[in-house]
Structure 1
Amino acid sequence: MTNRLDADAIAFGTLQQAAKWFALLRSDSISDSDRISWQKWLSANAEHRRAWARVEAVSQQFETFTPEPEQSAAVNALDAASRARKQRRRALKMLTLLCTTGAVSWSVGQLEPVQRSWLAFSSDYSTAVGETRDVMLADGSQVWLNTASALNARYQADLRRLVLLGGEILIETAKDPAVPTRPFVVDTAQGRLRALGTRFTVRQLDGITQLSVYKGAVEITPVAASGSAQIIDAGQQVLFSADGIEIPSAVDPANEAWAKGVLFADDLTLAEFVVELSRYHKGYLACAPEVAGLRVVGAYPLHDMQQTFAMLETALPVTVKATFPWWVSIQAR
C-alpha cells in the first residue's frame, strides 16, 4: 500500500536508510552521537528528507509515535523553505486528477487514511486494505469486493445499478426476479458496463477502468463517447477511458483468483508481483532494484502475508526484511 501520488521518486536504498534511522531513534539504545549522525544524514540532501517524511507518514497510519523535540526541529528547519512549494504542487496535482476524472479514479488503497475512511463511510459496501468480502444483492446477484474497495448499490424500478467508487469487484449476475427484467449495469468514472448474463471483474485504475469477462458478455459505453459502445465477450479483457476503448486481449485468469484468497503469478517479475501484493499489505512494501527482475511463478495466499513471504524466500534468492510490521522490503539474500 505505497503512496503512488508522490511524483518525486525516492531511491530504494535511501528509503531503507530512513527506516533504519527511524528504528534507531525509537530504540532505548540511541546515543547522542547517533542523534548527531542522524541530523547530518538528514541535512545531507533533499532526498534524505523526503525519505524521512515518507517513513514518518507511513508510520503515522499504524502507530502513535511522537518524535523528540530535536527531531522535529531539525526536520522543520531543513524543510521550511520547500514545504509550501510541495503542498502547492500536491494540491494542484490532486485537483487536476479530480477534475480530469470527474470522480475517485485510483485504487482506494492509495488514498490517505482520512480519505479512505470517508469513502468507506459514504459507500454501501467497502473493504479495508488486505480484506475481501462477498455480498449477495437483492436480486440474487453476487459481488465480491477486493482489497481497499468501495461500492454503492442503487436498485431502482427500471434499473439494477452498481457504482464502483474505487478498487475492484467480481460480479456474477442472477436472473432478475422483477417483471419486466431490469438491465444490470456498473458505473465507473470512465463509463458504464451493461452485463449480458455474465461473470466479470471491474477494476478502477488511475484514470482508466479494466474489464475482464469470464462468462457471457459485457457492453461498455465510455462516458464521453456514448455513441461508441462495444461488447466484450467471455475470454476477453480490455482497458477503457472516458474517451474510448482499447483493443481487447485474452483474459488473464489471475484477475479473479483474488476472490479465492490467492494471488496467482504466471511468470511475473518480482517488481510486478510486489506491486500487486502491496495492494493487500498494510504499509510500505517494495523490492530492491537488484532483485526486481527475478521471475515469480505460483499461487500465494493473500490473507497470510508471512506465509507468502516465506514462500518467496524459498523460491527465490531473496530475504524479506521487516524493519517494522508496516515497513517491509525484499532484498538479495
Structure 2
Amino acid sequence: MPVDNASLARRAAPRQDVVKQAIHWLLRLRNNHGNSRLNRQCEQWRAEHYEHELAWQRVQSLQAELSNNLRAVPGAQVAFNTLENSAQGLGRRQALKLLSGALLMGSAAWLAKDTSAWQQWSADYATATGERRGIQLPDGTRIELNTASAVDLAYTAQQRLIKLTRGEIIVTCGGADEETSSDRPLQIHSRHAVYEPQNARFILRQDSDCMRLSVTSGRVAIRSGDTSIEAIAGQSYLIDHYQVRRAPPLDMDLGAWADGLIVTRNMRLGDFLREVGRYRQGFLNCASDVADLRLSGVFRLEDTDKLLAILPQTLPVQLRYRTRWWVTLERVS
C-alpha cells in the first residue's frame, strides 16, 4: 500500500539534528547499495523512535521533490546529476556536507510549514499529542483541551477572550460562579469566526479547511463576516471563509474524548483510524480494501496500541507494525 507521506509529515516536525542523521543514512545506503547489514542497521535506527521514521520519510520525499522540480528546469537536471555523482565520489564527511546542504534547505522550508511545536511552546495553554487537559478560568468558565490543542487568553478590564489556535476544545460557561457582566461578554475566536456563548456548553474543533461548532446546551452566537447565526443545543455548524452552514450528523460522539473515550456508531474504519491517529505519534492507516468496513463501540484512549489490538477481534483485519510508530491495517489473507 502506498505510504501517505503528506499525512505523516503533518503529524510532527523532526529536529534538524535527526534530519541530518537521516541524510547520513541515505548517503551510506546509496554508497553501499545492496549491503543487507547496513540496511538492517538503518531499519533498526528508524524503529528506535517515531521521530527517526518521520525524518527518514521527510528526507526521502525531499530528495524526490528536489529531483522532480529540477527536471522541470532546462539544464538543471544535469547539474543535479553532477551533484549526486560528485557526492558519491567523495568521502563520507564531504558527501554529507554537500548533499545535506541541498536537502536541509528543503527541510527548513518544510519544517517552517509545521507550526504546531511553536504553538504548543508559545500558547497560554496547550496539550501534546495524546494529552487532554482541563482549565478552570478565574471568571468561572471551564475549558477542556483535546489532544494537540492550544489556546491563548486575553482577559482584561475590557474583554474576556479565548482564542483557539489549534485543535479542539469544550467550553462550559454561564454557571452560578461565572461572571455575567454585559460589559465583558465572553468571546471565543477561531480562524473563521467569533463565538459568543450564553449559559452554554459547546465543542469547537479546528479541522484543516473549516471549524466545527457543536452545541450541547445553551446558545452560541456565530459571527463570521456579514453572517450572524444563533446555534442552539443539539445543533452543529461548519464554518469556513465563505459560509456558515448546518453540519451533517456524525457517526461518533464528539464530546466523548473529555472522558477519554471514542464512541462510534457504524463508523468507517478509515475515518475511525484518522480519529485514533490524532491521539498517537507516528503513522496510522489502512489498506483501501478495508477502509469502508464499519464498526460501533466504546474505545478507551489511554493506550492506543491496546485499542488497535481490539480491532482484529471484531473485523477481518490484521495489524502490520512496520515500526512501533508505523502501523497499517490489512485484510486478513
2:165 aligned partner: 165
- Structure 2: how far apart are the matches of 1:77 and 1:121? 30
**1:294 Cα deviation after fit:** 0.8
Aligned partners of 1:315, 1:235: CA distance in 2, in Å? 31
Give the equivalent residue in structure 1 for 2:51: 62
- 1:185 deviates by 1.1
Aligned-residue offset at 1:64:
8.5
* Code of the aligned partner of 1:126: A
* Residue 121 of structure 1: how far off its partner (Å): 1.2
1:273 aligns with 2:272: yes
- Displacement of 1:31 in angstroms is 9.8
| Residue 287 (structure 2) pairs with residue 285 (structure 1) | no
2:303 partner letter: D
1:82 pairs with 59, 63, 68, which one? 68
When residues 268 and 253 of structure 1 are mapped into structure 2, their CA distance, relative to the original with a 3 A threshold, is closer
Q: Distance in 2 between matches of 1:130 and 1:305?
A: 9
What CA deviation, in whole Å up to 9, does each residue of 1:46-74 have, x standing for no partner?
A: xxxxxxxxx97x9875249998xxxx9x9
| Residue 195 (structure 1) shift | 0.5
Query: Are residues 76 and 194 of structure 1, via their aligned partners in 2, closer, same or farther at CA, if it must alter by over 3 Å?
Result: closer
- Alpha-carbon distance in structure 1 between the residues aligned to 2:62 and 2:267: 42
Q: Residue 324 in 1 paired to residue 323 in 2?
A: yes
In the alignment, what sits opposite 2:179?
177
2:174·2:180 contact (CA, 8 Å) conserved in 1? no
CA distance in 2 between counterparts of 1:113 and 1:241 reads: 21
2:137 alignment counterpart: 137
Q: Which runs of at least 4 in structure 1 moved beyond 6 Å after TM superposition?
A: 35-38, 64-67, 74-79, 111-114
Gapped regions of structure 2 (runs ≥ 5): 11-24, 73-101
- Would the aligned equivalents of 1:2 and 1:285 in 2 still touch at CA under 8 Å? no
- 2:273 maps to a residue whose letter is V
- Write the distance in 1 (CA, Å) between the matches of 2:256 and 2:304: 16
Offset, 1:230? 0.3
Name the CA distance, whole Å, in 1 between partners of 2:123 and 2:69.
33
Which secondary structure state, in structure 2, belongs to the residue aligned with residue 246 of structure 1? strand
> Larger relative contact order (C-alpha < 8 A, sep ≥ 6)?
1
Which one of 206, 209, 228 corresponds to residue 207 of structure 1? 209
Alpha-carbon deviation of 1:293?
Answer: 1.2
* Structure 2 residue aligned with 1:106: none
**What count of residue pairs does the alignment treat as equivalent?**
271
- Cα shift at 1:179: 4.8
Structure 1 regions of 5+ residues with no counterpart?
Answer: 8-21, 39-54, 96-110
Give the secondary-structure state (helix, strand or coil) at the position aligned to 1:275: helix
Give the distance between the partners of 2:53 and 2:230, measured in 1 at CA: 50
Deviation at 1:319, TM superposition (A): 1.2
Q: State whether residues 163 and 187 of structure 1, in contact with CA within 8 Å, keep that contact through their aligned partners in structure 2.
A: yes
CA contact (8 A) 1:2 1:278 kept: no
TM-score by structure 2 length?
0.69
The structure-2 alpha-carbon separation of the partners of 1:249 and 1:288, relative to structure 1 and needing over 3 Å to count, comes to: closer
Question: Alpha carbons of 1:177 and 1:232: their partners in 2 closer, same or farther (altered >3 Å)?
Answer: closer
Structure 2 distance, partners of 1:198, 1:273, is 28
SS, match of residue 231 in structure 2 = strand
Number of the residue aligned with 1:153: 153
On the 8 A contact 2:252/2:265 being kept in 1, the answer is: no
Q: Give the one of 221, 225, 232 matched to 1:219.
A: 221
TM-score normalised by length of structure 1 = 0.69
Structure 2: which amino acid aligns with 1:318? V
Corresponding residue for residue 126 of structure 1:
126
Q: Distance in 2 between matches of 1:251 and 1:66?
A: 35
CA apart distance, 1:201: 0.4
Q: Does 1:256 align with 2:259?
A: no
Aligned-pair CA distance for 1:331: 1.1
Q: CA deviation at 1:6?
A: 7.6
Q: Report if aligned partners of 1:237, 1:252 keep a CA contact under 8 Å in 2.
A: no
